[in-house]
């Protein structure tokens, strides 16, 4: 069975792990679950392979080594059994082998200067972390939220919580919208990259939401959340601190969530949606219940959609492989993001007409708010 692409991901929680065991049995080699299959346009097969590790495990030294070994075992299986061509490092797996998969490791997942990089181990495979696809979708979602939150009025304020690849791209995207400096607040450590981006502007930077110190907190009408770091989670107390009766719109692109559901349900007049979800109106089919990986019919994570579109494009244009390899697929950047946006346009990938919140479709009548 030849797969054009494969998504690698850790399990996102205990419930997800239990669902996988019920559906697929125990993990192979105590490492990864049997593949779940997708099909696009009846001629391109892809799959998802879940590693048997949790996000928290991927943050400890021993957990990272364990997850690397699982990844390498699953990758060998995908290459030898599925004849895979493109590999996505999704969720926590994107951090296992360095920012640009440059770390040298051995087959047990331990760092080893005499070892190999992923590209050296499988030079014929195209690797990506899919962040340019997620960023392209998030940009579309930001446009929608800016309108709903009346940011374009020139008065209301948007918070960017977390400044990794997606947070930094969101900041640059907002700056391109010609908002005034007082309309953007950044929650982050004051890094060199941030200093260069905001230069001599008056954009305010705070270490966390509870430390925001401005005169008009009630002007804050939206949050773009790009982190699930435990010290930066959005809580009901955070919302209470910045809310003075106003409606607040939240896009939460983090997995696991940066605005946990148990905190959201304590809030009033808050509109929340999962961020980075791509919508494919026609031609895409799950061969399994998509809820098992937090999705619904016609919806893919932005990183998944990027990988699928790359596979579809290369199937039609195999001579373009060297150009694709020349793109920086592990950093969100203008060249790669614009190329991915072009693929999304070509293959009719956009944002869902009805977004998800906590993996559930939000009805058009109920909107995306939680009302007490």
DSSP-based three-state secondary structure for 65: helix
Higher-scoring residue by pLDDT: 42, 238 = 238
pLDDT at position 165, please? Answer: 87
| b/e code 243-275 from CB counts within 10 Å (16+ = b) | beeeebbbbbbbbebbbbeebbeebeebbbbbb
pLDDT category at 296 given cuts 50, 70, 90 is confident
pLDDT in tens, 136-170: 999 999 999 998 998 876 789 999 999 988 999 99
Which of 87, 55, 12 is closest to 291 using CA atoms? 12
List the beta bridge partners of residue 224.
160, 251
CA atoms of 270 and 53, how far apart (whole Å): 32
Average model confidence (pLDDT) for the chain?
Answer: 92
CA dihedral (347, 351, 353, 354) positive or negative? positive
Q: How far is CA 223 from CA 186, 247, 271, in A?
A: 10, 11, 10
Inter-axis angle of helices 334-346 and 302-316, nearest 10:
70
Q: Where do you find CATH 3.40.50.720 in the chain? A: 134-275+355-370
Element (H, E) at 312: helix 302-316
Global pTM exceeds 0.75? yes
pLDDT at position 229, please? Answer: 87
pLDDT in tens, 305-339: 999 999 999 999 999 999 999 999 999 999 999 99
DSSP-based three-state secondary structure for 137: helix
List the single range of 9-13, 193-197, 310-314, 368-372 with lowest mean pLDDT: 368-372
| b/e code 73-88 from CB counts within 10 Å (16+ = b) | bbbebbbeebebbbbb
CATH superfamily of 134-275+355-370: NAD(P)-binding Rossmann-like Domain (3.40.50.720)
């Amino acid at each position: 069975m030849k797969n054009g692409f494969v998504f690698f991901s850790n399990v996102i929680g205990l419930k997800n792990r239990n669902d996988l065991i019920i559906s697929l049995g125990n993990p192979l080699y105590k490492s990864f679950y049997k593949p779940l299959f997708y099909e696009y346009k009846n001629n391109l097969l892809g799959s998802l392979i879940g590693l048997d590790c949790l996000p928290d495990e991927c943050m400890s030294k021993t957990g990272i080594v364990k997850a690397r070994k699982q990844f390498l075992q699953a990758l060998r299986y995908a290459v030898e059994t599925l004849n895979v061509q493109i590999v996505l490092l999704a969720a926590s797996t994107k951090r296992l082998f360095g920012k640009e998969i440059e770390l040298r490791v051995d087959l047990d997942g331990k760092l080893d200067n005499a070892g190999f990089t992923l590209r050296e181990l499988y030079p014929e495979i195209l690797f990506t972390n899919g962040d340019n696809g997620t960023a392209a979708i998030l940009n579309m979602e930001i446009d929608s939220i800016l309108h709903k939150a009346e940011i374009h009025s020139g008065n209301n304020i948007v918070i960017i919580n977390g400044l990794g690849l997606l947070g930094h791209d969101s900041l640059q995207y907002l700056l391109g919208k010609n908002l005034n400096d007082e309309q953007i607040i950044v929650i982050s450590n004051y890094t060199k990259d941030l200093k260069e981006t905001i230069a001599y502007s008056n954009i305010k930077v705070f270490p966390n939401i509870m430390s925001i110190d401005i005169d008009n907190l009630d002007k804050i009408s939206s949050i773009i959340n790009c982190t699930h770091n435990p010290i930066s989670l959005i809580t009901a107390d955070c919302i209470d601190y910045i809310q003075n009766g106003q409606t607040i719109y939240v896009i939460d692109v983090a997995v696991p969530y940066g605005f946990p559901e148990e905190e959201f349900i304590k809030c009033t007049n808050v509109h929340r949606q999962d961020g980075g979800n791509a919508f494919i109106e026609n031609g895409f089919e799950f061969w399994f219940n998509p809820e098992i990986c937090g999705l619904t019919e016609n919806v893919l994570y932005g990183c998944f959609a990027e990988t699928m579109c790359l596979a579809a494009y290369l199937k039609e244009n195999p001579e373009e492989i060297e150009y694709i390899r020349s793109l920086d697929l592990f950093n969100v950047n203008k060249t790669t993001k614009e190329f991915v946006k072009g693929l999304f346009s070509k293959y009719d990938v956009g944002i869902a007409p009805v977004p998800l919140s906590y993996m559930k479709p939000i009805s058009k009548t109920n909107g995306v708010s939680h009302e007490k």
